[in-house]
Amino acid sequence: MIIRNLTEAECAEALTENRLGRLACARDGQPYVVPVYYAYADRHLYAFSLPGRKIDFMRVNPLVSVLVESAQQGGWRSVVVDGRYEELPDEIGHKRERDHAWALLSRHADWWEPGSLKPILPVSIHAEEIFFRIAIDRMSGREAKA
């Protein structure tokens, strides 16, 4: 098996082709990893959630990592993203970014899972619905082929 490093362009391609990642965050020395559906655009991962442990952790410590993996014929590909959590609240000054997140995410069926039940409108009527993005500082990846 041959293992090689991916270029940044190949990492971006892998992020675009996939939708499910493993989000790692930490608070008070305690790590936490959870699956998250995302959409990739412009060096950001966009996602949606309800309040809970991951949101609490990221509000305290916005530094996160995301692992995206895919199996390929005779091998695998993985990308690790290091970045910063940015909440996109439903308030003046964030409407453009929030609508952008909605537009990107809603291109896919079941985009709201595992975060919640499906929101009904692009402009939230429920204060607990949280759109956020991960601003990517670094990304790296590896690929193995037979």
Structural domains counted in the chain = 1
Q: Containing domain of residue 76, as a range? A: 2-145
Residue 24 CB contacts under 8 Å (≥ 6 apart), including other chains: 31, 32, 33, 64, 65, 66, 67
- Report which residue type is found at 39: A
Q: Identify the CATH number of the domain in which residue 69 sits.
A: 2.30.110.10
Which pLDDT tens digit goes with each residue over 38-94? Answer: 999 999 999 988 899 999 999 999 999 999 999 988 899 999 999 999 999 877 777
Q: Are 14 and 77 in contact, with CB atoms under 8 Å apart?
A: yes
| C-alpha span between 49 and 120 (Å, rounded) | 14
Residue 105 CB contacts under 8 Å (≥ 6 apart), including other chains: 37, 38, 39, 46, 47, 48, 111, 112, 131
Which pLDDT tens digit goes with each residue over 15-34? Answer: 999 999 999 999 999 999 99
pLDDT classification of 108: cutoffs 50, 70, 90: low
What is the model's pTM?
0.84
Which helix (H) or strand (E) segment is 78 a member of? strand 75-88
Token pair for residue 34?
């959870």
Runs of H (alpha helix) within 2-143: 8-17, 53-60, 95-105
Other C-beta atoms closer than 10 Å to the C-beta of 26 total 16
